[in-house]
Amino acid sequence: MNFRLISKKNPDVINILSFVIFFILSCDSTESIQPLEQNKVDPFIQNKKIAKTINLGNALDAPNEGEWGVTLEAEYFQIIKSAGFSGIRLPIRWSNHTQANAPFTIDENFFKRVDWAVQNALDNNLAIVINIHHFEEIFSDPLAFKQKLLSLWEQIARHFKDYPDDIIFEMLNEPHQKLTSEIWNEFIAEGISLIRKIDDKRTLMIGPANWNSINSLSTLEIPNVENLIITVHYYSPFEFTHQGASWVENSDRWMGTTWDATNTQKELIDKDIAMVKEWGIRNNRPIFIGEFGAYSKADFNSRFRWTEYMVQVMQKNEISWSYWEFCSGFGAWDQQTKKWNELLYALIQPN
C-alpha cells in the first residue's frame, strides 16, 4: 500500500475506505456468509455402513421369538462383527405385539427386547437396519391396516429419535398382494412425512411393491426427500434359491437344480444387478440389496458359487447388501456346532 495516498491531501480516499469498513462491519454475517448445513446425514455414507450385512432372521420376525428355532444371543452380535460384517438387518414382527385397537400401543416387553438387540449392535460397532416385517394383515387389506402401520412408525420414530444415526428405518418388508404399487406409494409418502415431523435426520429405507422386486423399481414413486436408501431383494433364479422351500408351493419339483457359474448363469445376474445400479445412478439414490440367499435344500457347492458370485457383482457395482440369513434355513452360522460354515468365505471376500 502507498501510504502517501492516505493523507489530509486525499480526503476522497479516506472517505471511501471509511465507507468500505463501515459496510463490512454492518453486514449481517449470517446473511453474507452461508455456513454449511450442520448435522446433515448423507445416505450414501449411511449405505456404506451397511455394505456387508447379514439378516438376523427367524427370531423377532417369528410370531413369537423362538418359535422358528432362533432366539437371539448377545454373542451373535460379537460373532458377526468379528467375522467382518459391518452391520445387521433385524426383521421385526411389530404387528404381532401391539394392542388390538388404536392407538395400537407396542407391548413394552417386546420393545425392550428390540432395544436390547439394537444396543447389542451399537455396542459392537454394527450399523443396524430395523424394519416392519411379516405384517401379513396389511397385505390382504391395506386400507384397513394403514393406520396401524402409521401408528407403529410414529411409536418407533419417537422411541429412537435420540439414538445414533447408525440405526436405519426400513418402512416395510416386501409389500405385495393387495398392497399394490399405487397404494404403497401413497403409504410411503404419508409414512415418511410422519417420521420426518418427529425425526428429520433419521436415514429411511423404502423398496418397491411386488416383494421388493427389482422389476418393480420403475413403479416406485420416490418422495422428494433426502437421506433415503432404496432397497430391493434378489433370489434369482428362484427355482434354484428356493428349491424344496416348504413355504413355496410345489417347490420340491425344483430339487436338484444347480448353479454351476456358467457364462449364461453369470450373465443373467450381471444384467439384473447392472439394471439396479443404473436405476440408482439415474435417480441419485443409494441401493441396498436387503435380502439374497439360497436355501439349504440346494447342494452346498452350488450355494457357495452363487453366493460368492453375487457378492462379487454387488461389490463391483458398489451396492450394499444383507445376506439372508444368519443361522436358520439359509444360514451361514451353525447353531449346533457354533461355527461358520464355508458360506462365510463366499460372503466376506477381499475387496
Give pLDDT, residue 40.
87
pLDDT of residue 113: 98
For the question of residue 291 being annotated catalytic, the response is yes
User: How confident is residue 30, by pLDDT bands cut at 50, 70 and 90?
Assistant: very low
The predicted structure's pLDDT at residue 349: 80
Cell numbers standing for residue 327? 443361522
pLDDT at 38: 54
pLDDT over 60 (residue 175): yes
Q: Is the model's pLDDT at 311 over the cut of 90?
A: yes
Active site residue 174: yes
Strands 333-334 and 339-340: antiparallel
Q: Which structural domains are found in the chain, ordered by start?
A: 42-347 (3.20.20.80)
Residues 6+ apart with CB under 8 A from 58: 68, 69, 70, 325, 328, 329
Phi, psi of 101 (to 5 degrees): -120, 165
Identify whether the C-beta of residue 114 lies closer than 8 Å to the C-beta of residue 60.
yes
Residue 231, strand partner residues: 288
Q: What is the mean pLDDT of residues 188-217?
A: 98
How far is Cα 77 from Cα 119, in angstroms, rounded to an integer? 10
- Torsion region of 65: left, alpha or beta (phi above 0 gives left; psi -120 to 50 gives alpha): beta
| Whole-angstrom distance, CA of residue 94 vs CA of residue 131 | 9
Residue 242 in contact with residue 233, Cβ under 8 Å? no
Helices (H), 217-294: 238-241, 263-283
State the pLDDT confidence band at 39, using cuts at 50, 70 and 90.
low
Q: Which three cell numbers stand for residue 279?
A: 436405476
pLDDT in tens, 208-234: 999 999 999 999 999 999 999 999 999
The mean predicted confidence, pLDDT, of the chain is: 91
CA distances to 3, 36, 168, 204, 242 from 131, in Å: 70, 32, 8, 10, 23
Specify the residue for cell string 410370531. 63
142 Cβ contact partners less than 8 Å away, ≥ 6 residues apart: 178, 179, 180, 183, 184, 187
> How does 54-82 read in b/e, with b if 16+ C-beta sit within 10 Å?
bbbbbbbbbeebeeeebebeeebbebbbe
Predicted confidence (pLDDT) at residue 49 exceeds the cutoff of 50:
yes
Q: What is the reported pLDDT for 351?
A: 64
Lowest mean pLDDT across 22-26, 187-191, 323-327 = 22-26
| pTM (whole model) above 0.85 | yes
N-term to C-term CA, the chain? 57
Catalytic residue among 174, 221, 239, 342: 174
Task: Give the model's pLDDT for residue 28.
Answer: 42
For residues 150 and 44, give the distance between their C-alpha atoms in angstroms, rounded to a whole number. Answer: 26
pLDDT digits (tens, 9 = 90+) for 82-130: 999 999 999 999 999 999 999 999 999 999 999 999 999 999 999 999 9
Active-site entry in 75, 108, 221, 291: 291
